[in-house]
Each structure stands twice: as C-alpha cells, then as structure tokens.
Structure 1
Amino acid sequence: MERVTLKVDGMSCGHCVKALEKALAAVDGATAEHVQIGEATVAFDPARTNVGALIDAAADAGYGAQQVT
C-alpha cells in the first residue's frame, strides 16, 4: 500500500468531509484513512488504482484536489 495526502478545495463542513470520505472509499483499492476540511490522507494499492483516480473521485464529488505528498 502507498499513501498520499491531498489538499482539497471547496470543503466547508462535516457533510463535505463525509461526502469526500464516501467518494474516496468508492475507488477500488483505496481507503480514506483521514479526511478533514481541506485535506485527505488516502492509502491505496498501486496495482489497483492511482493518485489520478483519487483526484478524479474528489472532482466527481465536487471538490478540487491536488497531491501534497
């Protein structure tokens, strides 16, 4: 497993946190380890997914995301 931290724009409340957790968890091979307003740490299996898919999942949920680490 690899880990990535994403900076996430557009989040403002607890509902946003839950929505992003759900979106990231829906990515095959990914586990949202820690999500808070403005940031998400995700563990993922690089054989099953990649950072681009996680960023796309955040975008599909309505949030802008970019890789921090």
Structure 2
Amino acid sequence: MKLVVDNMSCHHCVKAITKAINNIDSKAQVTVDLAQKEVTIEGGTISQEAAIKAIDDAGYQFVGIR
C-alpha cells in the first residue's frame, strides 16, 4: 500500500514512521520517500486503517492513498 503523508522532512521522520509501523507489524517492509511524501508498506499483515492510525499517532498527517 502507498500512503501520502505530510509533515515529513528528515531522516528522523523516516525512522519514526518506520518504527510506528513495525511496532504493529514487524514483518512489514516500510519505505519512506520524503520528496514524494509517500510511505510504502509491503509484506506483513498490517491493515490500511492500522497503518494510518500508527502514522497519525506518531505525529504525522495522513493525507491520502496512492
């Protein structure tokens, strides 16, 4: 799944979002593209709703799906 996330600007953001997703599903592979404001999650069993909540709870703003 590809999620559009605002408020990401640095390596700390990448680590925070990756950790938030992996805390829910350790098998999920998370790729964060700061330039595109995109978080890609592959593998694992995390639901879209759980991923969005984890991102929001980490302090970032989910804005859409690609």
Say whether the fold is shared (TM-score over 0.5).
Answer: yes
Deviation for aligned residue 1:31: 1.0
Name structure 1 gaps, 5 residues minimum: none
TM-score, structure 2 length as denominator? 0.78
**C-alpha contact (below 8 Å) 1:24/1:30 kept by paired residues:** no
Question: 2:5 & 2:21 partners in 1: Cα distance?
Answer: 12
Amino acid at match of 1:22: K
**Correspondent of 1:62 among 52, 56, 59:** 59
Normalized against structure 1, the TM-score is what? 0.76
Residue matched to 1:36: 33
Higher helix share: 2
Please name the residue that 1:50 is paired with. Answer: 47
| Deviation for aligned residue 1:67 | 4.1
Q: How do 1:4-19 and structure 2 match up within 5 A? A: 4-19=1-16
